[in-house]
C-alpha cells in the first residue's frame, strides 16, 4: 500500500456527500495520510460531457484515484484507458484508479457494494423471484449484483417503461432472457405477490421525493425488502415493511461497501467495513 493518498469525488451537487468522512476516518485508522477532495461540476460551470477535462487534470496533479457520481458515471468512460470487466458490462464507472504508468482504469463498486451488503444484512434470504423497483443507475447495479450472486429471476418495474425495457435488454444479453422480465405498474401486485423479495432503487423516500414507492398492502410477512436510499437511512418504505413483518435491509450498507471497495482499489489496503458502518451511523 501507499503511505499517502490523494483522491476525490467528481459529480453534481456533491457537497453533502459522506464519502470524504467515510474514507478519511478509515484511512486514519490505517495511519495513512489521505485527502478526499470534493470536485463539484456545478460551480465549475461544467456539464457531465466535460468530465474528461477533470479526470485528465487530476491525473496530471498526482491524484491516486477518483470516485465518480451522478451525472458522470457514463460520460467518464470514453476518457479512460481501460475498464474492469464489471464496469464494462454495467456501462457505468464510479471509481477510477490512476496507475503508476499513468493509465486511468474505471471500476464499478456500486454493484459489489450492494452484493456485499445483501450478503451481510440478509444472509440466507431466498432469491428465487425478486422484484426490483427502479431501473436507473442504482437499479442497474443492484440487478447486476443479484443476478451475479445467483437470483433465479428478476422482475423490473419502473414508471418509465423505456428504462425498464432498456435495462432488461442489457441484463438478458449478459445473464439470459429467462432470468429477466419487466412489469408495468398495474402488474406489480401479482409480481410482488409471487416474489421472495423486493429491492427498492428509486429516489422515493428521500426528502425531495416523499412517500412510498408502492401500495403498502403489497408488503407482507415472508417478503424481504432491501432499500437503496440511504438518506434518510430509515425510509417510509422500511418502516412500513418492518410493520408488515418483513425482514429488511437499509441502504447504508451499499453506501459503505462501495466506499470500502473503492478504498481498497485506491490504497491497496484492506478496509474494515464493520468500523465504516459504525462511522456511517454516527455521521
Ligand atoms: P435514477 O434517476 O438513475 O433512477 C431512478 C429510477 O426510478 C428512474 O428510472 C425513475 O423512472 C424510476 N422511478 C421513480 N419513481 C418510481 C416509482 N415510484 N416506481 C417505479 N420507478 C420509479 O436514480 P439512481 O441514481 O438510480 O438513484 C436512485 C436512488 O438510489 C437515490 O435515492 C440514490 O440516492 C440512491 N443510491 C444509493 C446508493 C447507495 O450506495 N446506497 C448508490 C446509488 C444510488
85 class by beta-carbon count within 10 Å (0-12 exposed, 13-18 middle, 19+ buried): exposed
ipTM above 0.95, yes or no: yes
Question: Residue 98 Cα, ligand 1 centroid: separation in angstroms?
Answer: 29
Q: Give ∠ CA 120-124-130 in degrees, rounded to 5.
A: 95
Q: Would you say residue 120 lies in a domain? A: no
Q: Would you say residue 121 lies in a domain? A: no
Q: Would you say residue 85 lies in a domain? A: yes
Q: Would you say residue 116 lies in a domain? A: no
What total number of domains does the chain contain? 2
Q: Which of 23, 73, 144, 153 is catalytic?
A: 73
Query: Could you report the per-residue pLDDT of 244-280, keeping only the tens digit for each?
Result: 999 999 999 999 999 999 999 999 999 999 999 999 9
Q: Cα(96)–Cα(83) distance, rounded to whole angstroms?
A: 9
| Domain match, 240 and 132 both | yes
Query: Could you report the per-residue pLDDT of 109-163, keeping only the tens digit for each?
Result: 999 999 999 999 999 999 999 999 999 999 999 999 999 999 999 999 999 999 9
pTM: 0.96
| Domain match, 161 and 230 both | yes
Q: Which atom of ligand 1 is nearest to the CA of 205?
A: 32
Q: Would you say residue 204 lies in a domain? A: yes
| Domain match, 70 and 145 both | no
- Residue to mutate (ligand 1; options 9, 134, 257; most atoms within 8 A of CB): 134
| Domain match, 226 and 259 both | no
Query: Could you report the per-residue pLDDT of 150-181, keeping only the tens digit for each?
Result: 999 999 999 999 999 999 999 999 999 999 99
pLDDT band of residue 2 (cuts 50, 70, 90) is low
Q: Show the ligand 1 pocket: residues with CB < 6 angstroms.
A: 70, 110, 113, 133-139, 157-160, 163, 201-204, 206, 213, 228-230, 251, 254-255, 258
| Domain match, 40 and 68 both | yes
Short-list 215, 129, 132, CA closest to 167: 132
| Domain match, 235 and 140 both | yes
Q: Would you say residue 98 lies in a domain? A: yes
| Domain match, 268 and 206 both | no
| Domain match, 81 and 132 both | no
C-alpha cell at 169: 435488454
Q: Would you say residue 198 lies in a domain? A: yes
* CATH value at residue 168: 3.40.50.720
Q: Cα(133)–Cα(155) distance, rounded to whole angstroms?
A: 8
| Domain match, 140 and 231 both | yes
Protein residue with its CA nearest to atom 14 in ligand 1: 202
How far CA 254 is from CA of 1, 116, 122, 144, 269, in Å, comes to: 24, 8, 12, 14, 19
C-alpha cell at 47: 456539464
How far CA 277 is from CA of 124, 126, 137, in Å, comes to: 21, 24, 23
Q: Would you say residue 272 lies in a domain? A: yes
How much is the pLDDT for 225?
Answer: 98
Question: Residue 200 Cα, ligand 1 centroid: separation in angstroms?
Answer: 8
Protein residue with its CA nearest to atom 39 in ligand 1: 255
Q: Determine if residue 241 is left, alpha or beta; phi over 0 gives left, psi from -120 to 50 gives alpha, anything else beta.
A: alpha
Protein residue with its CA nearest to atom 25 in ligand 1: 137
Query: Could you report the per-residue pLDDT of 39-95, keeping only the tens digit for each?
Result: 999 999 999 999 999 999 999 999 999 999 999 999 999 999 999 999 999 999 999
Q: Cα(3)–Cα(266) distance, rounded to whole angstroms?
A: 12
Question: Residue 99 Cα, ligand 1 centroid: separation in angstroms?
Answer: 32
| Domain match, 88 and 130 both | no
Question: Residue 138 Cα, ligand 1 centroid: separation in angstroms?
Answer: 6
Domain span at residue 90 reads: 4-108+255-282
* CATH value at residue 36: 3.40.50.10860
Catalytic residue status for 73: yes
The three-state DSSP-derived secondary structure of 224-237 is: EEEECCCCCCCCHH
Amino acid at each position: 500500500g501507499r503511505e499517502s493518498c490523494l483522491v476525490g469525488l467528481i459529480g453534481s451537487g456533491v457537497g453533502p456527500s459522506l464519502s470524504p468522512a467515510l474514507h478519511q476516518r478509515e484511512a486514519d485508522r490505517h495511519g495513512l495520510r489521505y485527502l478526499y477532495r470534493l470536485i463539484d461540476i456545478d460551480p465549475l460551470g461544467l456539464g457531465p460531457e466535460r468530465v474528461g477535462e477533470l479526470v485528465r487534470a487530476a491525473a496530471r496533479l498526482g491524484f491516486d484515484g477518483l470516485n465518480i457520481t451522478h451525472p458522470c458515471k457514463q460520460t467518464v468512460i470514453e476518457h479512460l484507458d481501460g475498464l474492469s470487466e464489471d464496469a464494462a458490462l454495467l456501462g457505468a464507472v464510479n471509481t477510477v484508479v490512476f496507475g503508476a504508468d499513468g493509465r486511468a482504469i474505471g471500476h464499478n463498486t456500486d454493484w459489489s457494494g450492494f452484493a456485499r451488503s445483501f450478503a451481510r444484512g440478509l444472509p440466507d434470504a431466498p432469491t428465487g423471484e425478486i422484484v426490483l423497483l427502479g431501473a436507473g443507475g442504482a437499479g442497474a447495479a443492484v440487478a447486476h449484483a443479484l443476478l451475479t450472486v445467483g437470483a433465479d429471476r428478476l422482475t423490473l418495474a419502473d414508471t418509465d417503461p423505456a428504462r425498464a425495457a432498456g435495462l432488461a435488454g442489457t441484463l438478458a444479453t449478459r445473464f439470459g432472457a429467462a432470468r429477466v422480465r419487466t412489469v408495468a405498474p398495474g402488474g406489480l401486485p401479482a409480481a410482488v405477490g409471487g416474489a421472495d423479495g423486493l429491492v427498492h432503487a428509486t429516489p422515493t423516500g428521500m426528502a425531495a421525493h416523499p412517500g412510498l414507492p408502492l401500495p403498502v398492502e403489497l408488503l407482507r410477512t415472508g417478503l424481504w425488502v432491501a432499500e437503496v436510499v440511504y438518506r434518510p437511512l430509515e425510509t417510509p418504505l422500511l418502516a412500513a415493511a418492518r410493520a408488515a413483518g418483513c425482514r429488511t435491509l437499509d441502504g447504508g450498507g451499499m453506501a459503505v461497501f462501495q466506499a470500502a471497495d473503492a478504498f481498497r482499489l485506491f490504497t491497496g489496503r484492506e478496509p474494515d467495513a464493520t468500523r465504516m458502518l459504525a462511522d456511517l451511523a454516527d455521521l
